[in-house]
Structures are given as structure tokens and as C-alpha cells.
Structure 1
Amino acid sequence: MTPSGILESALYVDDLDAAEAFYAEVMGLRQIAKVDGRHVFFACGEGVLLIFDAEQTIHPPKPDAKLPVPPHGTTGPGHLCFRATEAEIADWTVRLEVHGVAIEADFEWPQGGRSIYFRDPAGNSLEIANPKIWGL
């Protein structure tokens, strides 16, 4: 038995407002949930991108919590890769430039597929890549 896919991925930030603006305005993701000062969640394809204030996810839930989600998370920059076609990656390079987001790397992988790398306001490493980079 194996999982059928990844439902959610999480990134951790130190400025939730800046992250919320970046993922909504620059990345064009649709916000689906928010708790001020703690997290903001976005729909992304068939999955969900969870953006947490790193300081808030280290605290255990209150004993009477309705949703007793255990503490989880990390501090420091993480990495996330978004899926795109070659044509979409070309469009993303233009969109990122329009929004003043620097592209750190742009290259073709030896096995096929292209990746572009850039950072969100918290310093998380983001990538947009063609699934060919993994033979998918």
C-alpha cells in the first residue's frame, strides 16, 4: 500500500502578512483558510500549501482544543517545487520579473525538463519545474 499523492505541503515564515501577499498576488494562489498571526492556507492544483508563522507552530494545542493538531514545523528556509509545462515556465519568468522577484537559477536538467528557482519573502527556496525532471 502506498499513498496516492501529497495532499499538503508546509512552509514556515517570519512575516505572515508578507507571505500571504506573495502567495496570493505573485503566485496567484487562492486562499482557503486563515488564522491571523498563525497561518494562511492556499489551494494549489489538487493540493494545499500551508504557510505557518514558524513561532506559532512550536506550541502544543490547548487541552480543550477543538482540533488538537500536535506541534510541527521547523525554522529557517525550506524548499517547494511547483509543477508547470515548459510554456508555463516561460510565462512564469515574465510574471516573476514583473513582480520584481529575482530568478536565482534557470536551467535544463540532463534528463529533460526545465527549472527556475527564486525566493519568497521569508527566504524559502521556490522552484517551478517541468515534471520531466523526475521522469514524470
Structure 2
Amino acid sequence: MTTTTGPLTDSPAFSGFSVDDLDAARSFYEEVLGLRTSVEPEMRGVAHLHLAGGRDVLVYAKGAAHAPASYTVLNFPVPDVDAAVAELTGRGVRFLQYDQPPTDPTGVMRAGGPLIAWFTDPAGNVLSVIEAR
């Protein structure tokens, strides 16, 4: 593999996604998922999700123009997917059901690969818990 450098080689890149209601999203991420969030007063309509490992994800309000992502925007590695699904279900999270790949009644995909279960935030963006041992 060739190693090259460019203007973005050392950039501390971050990802982001939109929501239709930033207050509802922050409430979900803080109160249901237990994440820390923050806003910068000079950046109206923008919040940061503070994730483990010092990583941040930008969440921004797009209002009525928001369309949920058609892919998983955040994957949360957990040591035990079944335990995470049970706790999140107890907090009101509803896990998605799929025919392909097939999910069990709790929403966990067990058909090869790591165990994974998908759910959505209030804006309809898809998130997952994925087993990482």
C-alpha cells in the first residue's frame, strides 16, 4: 500500500448528520441513550454528541427539509447486545425488525457476523448497537 499525504492528512475530521428537531434529538441522546451533549451559543441549531474515546459527532437542525439517513449513522459497540437491547427497550427504544438480514423478536440480527440491533432517533436516523468483544 502506498502512503501519501495531502492537505487533510492530519485533519481532526468529524462526522455529522441532520435532525428535524434539535431539542427532541438532544433529549433523546441525553435522557434515553445517556450521552453527553453540548451546544455552542454562536452556532444556532448545532449540537455536539460527546462519544467515548474523545470523539464528537455534529448534529444539526434542518427542520422540515430534514430527510432521515438511509443508512446507519452511528454504531455503538457494546460488550453484550442482548443486555443493551433489554436496557434500551426499558428506556422506550423500539428496535427495528428486518426480513433481510433477519432479526429476532427483540430486533437482534443473529444470522452471521457480530450481533447487531438497529433503532432510530426521533428524527428517523438509524443507529445500532453492535457486539464487540
What is the TM-score of this pair, normalised by structure 2?
0.69
Decide which of 51, 57, 60 is 1:44's aligned counterpart.
51
Amino acid aligned to 2:93: V
- Residue 116 of structure 1: SS of its match in structure 2? strand
Q: % of aligned pairs identical?
A: 26
- Residue 23 of structure 1: SS of its match in structure 2? helix
CA RMSD of aligned residues (A): 2.8
Shift, 1:113, TM fit: 0.7
Deviations 1:92-123 (CA, angstroms, capped at 9, x unpaired): 2122211211111311252x211110111001
Structure 1 residues 82 and 37: CA distance shift in structure 2, 3 A? same
Matching of residues 1-136 of structure 1 within 5 Å: 1=4, 7-35=13-41, 37-46=44-53, 47-55=55-63, 75-78=66-69, 79-87=72-80, 89-104=81-96, 105-110=107-112, 112-131=113-132
- Residue 34 of structure 2: SS of its match in structure 1? coil
**Contact 2:20/2:62 (<8 A) preserved:** yes
Amino acid aligned to 2:83: D
**Alignment coverage as a number of residue pairs:** 112
**Contact 2:118/2:128 (<8 A) preserved:** yes
- Residue 82 of structure 1: SS of its match in structure 2? strand
How far, CA to CA, are the matches of 1:96 and 1:17 in structure 2? 20
**Contact 1:16/1:37 (<8 A) preserved:** no
What is the TM-score of this pair, normalised by structure 1?
0.68
Shift, 1:32, TM fit: 3.5
Deviations 1:1-49 (CA, angstroms, capped at 9, x unpaired): 4869x85221211111100000111111112434475111121122112
